[in-house]
Amino acid sequence: MSLRKAEKNQQTQADEKWSVSEGTWISSVCSMCYGGCSIKVKVVDGVVRKIEGNSDSPLGNGRLCAKGTSGIMTLYDPSRINYPLKRTNPEKGKGIDPGWERISWDEALDIIAEKMKKIHQDEPRKLFCMGTTTCASMMRNSVRSFTVSFGTPNFFSGGGGLHCGNGAHQVAGQTHASWSIVPDFDYCNYVIYFGASKGHAAGHAGNTNAQLSSDARSRGMKTVVVDPIGFQGAAAKATEWVPIIPGTDTALAIAMVNVLINELGIYDAEFLKYKTNASYLIGPDGKYVRDTASGKPLVWDANAEEPKAYDDPAGDLALEGSYEVQGVKCRPAFELLKEHVRKYTPEKAEEITKVPARTIRRIAREFGEAAQIGSKIVIDGHELPYRPVSTIYFRGAQGHKNSLYACIAIDMLNFVVGAADMPGGTLGFCPAGLGHPETNRPAFYPKAGLDGLLVTGIWMSPHTPYPIREPAQPRTMGLGEMFPFALSSPFMVSSDQEEMWEKIGLPYRPEMILDHGSNPIMSVGNDETVINSVKKIPFIVISELYLNEFTDFADIVLPDTCYLERLESAPNHPPILNHPAGMGRWGWPIRQPVIKPLYERRDFAEVLLELAKRIGISSNYFATLNLMQGIESPYRLEMEGDYTWEEVCDRQLKSHFGEEKGLEWFKKHGLISWPKKAEEVYWRAFTKARAPIYWEFILTAGEKVEPIAQKYGVDFVESYYRPLPEYNPCVSHEVKDPEFDLYGIYYRDIMHTNSFTMQNVWLDEASTRDAYIYYINLNTSTAARKGIKDGDWICLESVKGRKVWGKANLSEAIHPEVLAVAGCTGHWSKDQPIARAKGTFFNALLEIDYEHASPVNLNMDNCVKLKVYPSAPEDKGGVERA
Amino acid sequence: MQLIWKPQLAWNWKIACYLYLAGLGAGSYLVGYILKLANEPAVARSAMLISAPLVIIGTLFLIWDLGRPTRFLRALMRPIKSWIARGAWLLTCFTVVSMLNSVLTIWLFNVPEGNSVTILQSLGALLALGVAVYTGIMIGIMVSLPMWNTSILPVLFLVSAVSSGIGLVYILITANGETFPLAILEKMMLPHLGILIFEALIVYFYLANVAKSDPRDVHNLLKGKLAGVFWLGFISLGLILPLLLEALGTILDSGLKSYIIFLAGLSLLVGGFILRLVILLAGNLPPVVLGRR
Amino acid sequence: MPRWGMIIDLNRCVGCAGCQIACKAENCTPLGVTFSWLDSQEIGTYPNARRVAVPMICMHCEEPECEKICPAGATEKREDGIVTVNPDLCIGCKSCVVACPYGARYMYEKATTYFPSGRTPFEKLFDGRHSAGTVLKCDFCLHRIEEGLRRGLTPGKDREVTPACVINCMAKARYFGDLDDPESEVAQLNSRATVFPLKPECNTRPKVTYGGYLLKK
């Protein structure tokens, strides 16, 4: 009886701690992925008790995914790094214990600052900075600013970019003025996803998009998903799943454009004439025919029957025909497009993609018909074109050598039917904003630039995607100058980097890595190559949550704060990264520490301020922060000033929202929110900026790149530098050995972000229950052919002899020629006991070199041809199915 | 992915011991009761005497399996609704009656055979019948597990309990040849052959019946992970071997006979346990299947 | 007296497991114990195949097998229909764990922690929340519902007194409320012909029902 009483007693006490009424809610912003959802965190006695979505914010509307809710276990994980650590074992290698020794912050900063000071005086470009896409806002607003102010162009976002979007982000910037694209879920009736999962996955406003996509599905929106795998993401929710051979989406998309404009004659002529460069006259050299005086591209005025500059208020612009202007025979770009796509018949596309020609024709027709070309809708008092169809692309379609053309071709469908940034169509993530009504800040708006083409109003890095960089002799580790369409470069860690640097005569070699949270050993390609590359760098400093495969090579490790212990004044800015598109409200929340950083963890933003001070580059840093964070007078950071991170944040907020609304106001209120306007969401209808459907500037860039490439003995591949998209095969498509008969791809599971969430104990528990995440997924019939049974250990072997092992999961919902693994599983660091030996490390199969990268934008090819056979590894690791 | 039939792991070998010992105890009491009616009071007394300790040991296994063993008395709380509670009552009552019987008829020899003892022993037999049947009901009522959810199980467990009880009596007799005349065996073997064949038929009928609605579990038992235990442990050791040995025993008339029957008894005991264990382990929670309305 | 129930729209669910983790965080369920969890299954054959995510939870049956079998009177179907386990009465016989056709009950054998190094500060907040040696299960976040009724709020409408899995769901796939209140969303949705229970063959009459599942060619 006394036992029972004691229990009861305990229960009542506990009741007080976790009951609904106990504790305080603090508003902040999630960072378990780069989606940046607004959260409310309940704190009881200084302990985080619960994380929920913030229902006052349009960024998530009070809802949250598994990762967001599981942040508690990332905060309190005993495997977290809590003190600065110094390496004592000079020998570096996989599986070699660095011999960590705890040191003080002062000592750590002294060592780092001394080294950096030397590099800064000697050659700042020897500093190689890294950031993680998981903390995208932190990467842009702090780490990159620091990199720029230090004077080094060498920045790398782990595998980010190489995998997710050298093509996707750059093309979205050039055509939608934004980082990514998404269907206008509020109005869209028919959407085609190409290797994308917007609304069914993590990242880029994933949570809000899930709400919107579910609403759209309930409303009856049809979703066609082109993807090799059908067991997850958008494909699992699709009205129709169209399985495809990886890396061939371009052929399918061009064939659909062909069916629309040549077979069905469905296209939005008005849109093409005034919102794209379809009417620009193209000469026999493939370039714009320009007005001799002004240099402006010419169009043909069909009423006046004469050429005019593109921005002349002309009568009716010709899209077809053949003309002679200034003694040159020329045709409108659209005419060339029509001709160009003819060779991509659905039958030819079927050969490449294995999607039946019948299906291609049907989907193209359904898409064209659903576009309702000519229809209008009134929104917010504005009569706008109503185009309730959309096509979007993302990592799946663009994660190949042909990345650039894949995005161009898929997006072309939007432009042909006039659905780009129109109601119901395909929207960029919030590229236009007129600012808060009280301050008109922050304001940004896409505008017409060089040759009338679209220039972004705001961008993730200082250089806008258009006009592209002028090709030049490379002087950066990544050789970006030679590849003006690249956002990120494999040469930062590739197997042929030294060879390339030799060729171009790189005048320095990296001497130090300063990394915030990225783990390139797991997130780029095969670990052997990355390890060889980072091992050469004598001094590596990493600010991290956990010791991992990369910290094994570090000299100093700094204990980073996680997002619940961190301050950021602009976690959702610029909104092109993760602010929900479509009508609704704007939201600008702040990320604030909900508890004091535990142990000696320190916010890396503060560390950077301190380092800048010690190195003596504070004034540079403040200037860059002013620029990147949009801090205007009178709140600008003074060059000679000395600011804490709180003060920087305070000034940014006041600069945007007025004296009253500084950090204190935001800490209390969490966020500021105001309604969106139709001019912002459907900005394209309100601007004269045109999007390219004829990519003349790829052609001209190629002409400039070619001599540079030849000069340095780097391969120039002409078929990637044409003004209209072509299907170029991946390396894997050209493997002829019949033993290697399966395409290996990885996918991003909705439960995980990059590699770091694998250590979250709640997510791991959920993943262990999942039939797919920790398994190698392949089609039932394929497995039967190879004598593989469900749960069998199998080996994946690449043409280059790289091998990984895992357990098979047999699925009907995957292409029979494809095998898929959840990305970034298969950690091996003993410092991550939860993540260790769960799943299969797919990236180990990927080559990192120029051969496997796009010759135009350096995007890495993420598919690989594999031999698959039953085989058990020595170290089984792995998990048992729940 | 394949749909997963999740093995029930909540009840394991401890519950198998409980089911087995409760069944064996009840079975030996029943056999004793019948032997008494068949005018074999000495053997009958021993068989009845051993029943209560067996049931008590079985109950100890059950208590050991509880998450809160100190609360075991609460298992008696809800006999109106819960079969588990009814079972607890049955076991308690049987144990009390059986022990009372033992106390009266064995330690207090002076109590003469008479109406009161007969009534007590008959009541015990009725309760033993209840206990044996109950061990089948306890798992037979689980609508969650198709492998268990059948009204044949109580019958099967009853027959198996009697059979195991006979096995126990075989051992009692053959191990104490001086005390008990082997002639009793002659009375028992032929009927028991019938019981064994009947049991085999029930098992067949049971599996065929389950297979009709959910062949997967039966397949698992006959050809899957449990096949070895099932075929070797139950079918061979628990059915065929005693059948052969007893058949041999009926024909043979030599000194070997007692050994053969001893062996038969032993294999019956082992087989009885294996039967419970294998059925417990064969219980799988079927997956939710969409589209089934 | 209300009769609480839930509807899960499988057409909306995107399979993020947010419900599972929201429940973890709300109830601090021990390792391996998931009151709310995500199941999935594949339907059809290639290429007309799809994986359907099926979020699971205690069905709070009208005819609960677990309650019928409980010998100790620990499991109770309350007047408001919520099926609960009284940890002070539970003897840990596990018969309910076996009896539940949905696998929604868990035997919490011994007090466990997520990490071998001991309880996290978060886990310490929940001292005594779950009794070792007893059976644990979903109670529709009873502590939230009771708080709501104390404060005159409506579970299902008012966020802080609605079950954690419902308010958290980022696909808005879960609805909660009083099935007997004709005005409530759940009652209206429940009257649709397309709403169905899981494992109807068990005759448990679940108060958690499903809808919206479709697979088109």
- The C-alpha atoms of residue B240 and residue A792 are separated, in whole angstroms, by 36
To the nearest whole number, what is the mean pLDDT of chain B?
91
Q: Does C192 touch chain A (CB under 8 A)?
A: no
pLDDT number for residue A881: 45
What is the complex's ipTM, to 2 decimals? 0.97
Q: Which residues in chain C have their CB less than 8 angstroms from residue A20's CB? A: 143-144, 147, 160-161
Shortest distance between the Cα of C53 and any Cα of chain A, in A, equals 9
Predicted local distance difference test score (pLDDT) of residue A5 = 45
Contact C125 A17 (CB under 8 A): yes
Q: Is the model's pLDDT at A663 over the cut of 60? A: yes
The residues that bridge with C182 in the sheet, in sequence order, are none
Residue A759: exposed, middle, or buried by beta-carbon count in 10 A (0-12, 13-18, 19+)? Answer: buried
Per-residue pLDDT at A877 exceeds 80: no
pLDDT at residue number A14: 41
C17 touches chain A (CB under 8 A): yes
Interface touch A772/B2, C-beta < 8 Å: no
The predicted pLDDT at position B111 comes to 66
Q: What pLDDT shows up at residue A758?
A: 96
Tell me whether residues A772 and B1 touch, CB distance under 8 A: yes
**Segment A496-521 mean pLDDT:** 97
pLDDT of residue C213: 64
CA-nearest residue to C92 within chain B is B67
Q: Which residue of C has its CA nearest to B86?
A: C71
- Chain A positions in Cβ-Cβ contact with residue B70 (cut-off 8 Å): 3
Instruction: Give the type of residue at A602.
Output: R
pLDDT at residue A626 in the model: 95
Q: What is the pLDDT of residues B216-253, one digit of tens each?
A: 889 889 998 899 999 999 999 999 999 999 888 888 77
- Chain A from 800 to 859: CB within 8 A of any C CB: 811-814, 816
Interface of B with A in 55-74 (CB under 8 A): 70
Using the predicted structure, report yes or no on whether residue C191 has a pLDDT greater than 90: no
Flag whether residue B288 sits within 8 Å of chain A, measured between CB atoms: no
* pLDDT at site A240: 96
**C positions 44-63 inside 8 Å of B (CB):** 51-52, 54, 56
Could you check whether the bond before residue C47 is cis, i.e. omega within 30 degrees of 0? yes
Rounded Cα distance between C28 and C22, Å, is 10
**SS3 of residue A799 by DSSP:** coil
| 3-state SS assignment for residue A746 | strand
In a mutational test of the B interface, the residue from C91, C106, C203, C208 whose CB has the highest number of chain B CBs within 10 Å is C91
As a whole number, mean pLDDT of residues A685-711 equals 97
Residue A9 has pLDDT above 60, yes or no: no
Kindly give the pairing relationship between strand A298-301 and strand A306-309: antiparallel
Cα of first residue to Cα of last residue in chain C, in angstroms, is 44
- pLDDT band, residue A676 (cuts 50/70/90): very high
Give me the phi and psi of A172, to 5 degrees please.
Answer: -60, -35
Averaged pLDDT score across all residues of chain A: 94
Assess whether pLDDT exceeds 90 at residue A878.
Answer: no
Contact across the interface for A236 and C120, Cβ inside 8 Å: no
Q: Report d(CA A837, CA A835) in Å as an integer.
A: 6
Q: Best interface-test mutation with A: which of B1, B2, B68, B74 has the largest number of A CBs within 10 A?
A: B1
| pLDDT band at B41; cut points 50, 70, 90 | confident
Residues B244-272 have pLDDT tens digits of: 998 888 887 777 888 899 999 999 999 99
Smallest CA–CA distance, residue A207 to chain B, in Å, is 26
Please report the residues numbered 136 through 175 in chain C whose beta carbons come closer than 8 angstroms to any beta carbon of chain B: none
Mean pLDDT value across residues A561-578: 95
Whole-number percent of chain A with pLDDT over 70: 97
- Chain B, 36 to 75: residues with Cβ < 8 Å from chain C are 62, 65-68, 71-72, 74-75
User: Is some CB atom of chain A closer than 8 A to the CB atom of C125?
Assistant: yes
Identify the pLDDT of residue B250.
82
Indicate if the pLDDT at residue A15 is higher than 60. no
The mean of the pLDDT values for chain C is 94
Region of C212 (left: φ > 0; alpha: ψ -120 to 50; beta: rest) is left
Model's pTM, two decimal places?
A: 0.95
- C205 close to B (CB below 8 A): no
What count of other Cβ atoms lies within 10 Å of the Cβ of residue C151? 12
Q: Which residues are CB-neighbours of A652 under 8 A, at least 6 positions away?
A: A569, A570, A629, A630, A631, A635
Name the packing angle between helices B241-251 and B256-281 (round to 10°): 160
Cβ neighbors of A292 (< 8 A, separation 6 or more) are A326
Please count the helices (runs of H) and the strands (runs of E) in chain B. Answer: 10, 2
Cβ–Cβ < 8 Å for A516, A604: yes
The answer to whether C115 contacts A4, with C-beta atoms less than 8 Å apart, is no
Alpha-helical (H) ranges within A450-526 are: 497-504, 520-523
Cβ of C98 within 8 Å of Cβ of B8? The answer is yes
Mode of pairing for the β-strands spanning A127-131 and A155-156: parallel
Nearest chain A CA: its distance from B3 CA (Å): 10
Mean pLDDT of A74-90: 98
Question: How far is it, in rounded angstroms, from Cα A138 to Cα A517?
Answer: 10
> What is the Cα–Cα distance from B152 to A245, expressed in whole angstroms?
54
3-class SS string, A544-585 = ECECCCCHHHCCEEEEECCHHHCCECCCCCCHHHHCCCCCCE
Q: Scanning every residue of chain B, which has its alpha carbon at the shortest distance from the alpha carbon of A769?
A: B4
**Measured distance CA(A579)–CA(A573) in Å, rounded:** 8
Interchain contact B77–C (C-beta under 8 A) = yes
Instruction: State yes or no: pLDDT of A880 exceeds 60.
Output: no
How close B274 gets to chain A, by Cα (Å)? 27
Cβ proximity of A330 and A283 under 8 Å: yes
User: What H or E segment, with its residue span, contains residue A811?
Assistant: strand A803-811
Neighbours of chain B (3+ CB pairs under 8 A): A, C
Q: Where is A518: in which H helix or E strand?
A: none
- The DSSP call for residue B79 is T
Q: How many CB pairs below 8 A link A and B?
A: 12
Residue C174 burial (10 A CB sphere; 0-12, 13-18, 19+):
buried
Q: How confident is the model at residue A10 (pLDDT cuts 50, 70, 90)?
A: very low
pLDDT at A7 over 50: no
Beta-carbon separation of C172 and A215 below 8 A: yes
**What pLDDT is stored for residue B108 in this prediction?**
64
Q: For B117-141, what is each residue's pLDDT tens digit?
A: 889 999 999 999 999 999 999 999 9
Q: DSSP assignment, residue A25?
A: E
> Which strands, in side-by-side order, build the sheet including A47-53?
A24-29, A38-44, A47-53
Q: Is A193 left (phi over 0), alpha (psi -120 to 50) or beta?
A: beta
Report how far Cα B167 is from the mean position of its chain's Cα atoms: 11
Q: Could you report the per-residue pLDDT of A781-822, keeping only the tens digit for each?
A: 999 999 999 999 999 999 999 999 999 999 999 999 999 999
Task: Give the pLDDT of residue A650.
Answer: 98
- The residue-averaged pLDDT of A181-204 equals 94
Comparing A74-78, A283-287, B176-180, the range with the smallest average pLDDT is: B176-180
- Cβ separation A761–C87 shorter than 8 A: no
Measured at the CA of A211, the angle between CA A206 and CA A216, to 5 degrees, comes to 115
Per-residue pLDDT tens over the stretch A823-876: 999 999 999 999 999 999 999 999 999 999 999 999 999 999 999 999 988 765
Distance set, CA A878 to CA A79, A780, A786, B125 (Å): 20, 21, 22, 55
User: Which band of pLDDT confidence, cut at 50, 70 and 90, is reported for residue B103?
Assistant: confident
Q: How far apart are CA C108 and CA C87, in angstroms?
A: 11
* Encoded tokens for A856: 């135009």
Q: What is the per-residue pLDDT across A435-486, written as a single tens digit (0 to 9) for each?
A: 999 999 999 999 999 999 999 999 998 889 999 999 999 999 999 999 999 9
Total CB pairs under 8 A between chain B and C: 122
Whether C201 and B292 lie within 8 Å, measured CB to CB: yes
Min distance B172 CA to chain C CA atoms (Å): 34
Residues B4, A881: C-beta atoms closer than 8 Å: yes
Residue A882, pLDDT above cutoff 50: no
Q: Which chains touch C (3 or more CB pairs under 8 A)?
A: A, B
Across the interface, whether the CB atoms of C126 and A763 are under 8 A apart is answered no
Task: Say if residue B293's pLDDT is above 80.
Answer: no
Residues of A in Cβ contact (< 8 Å) with B4: 771, 881
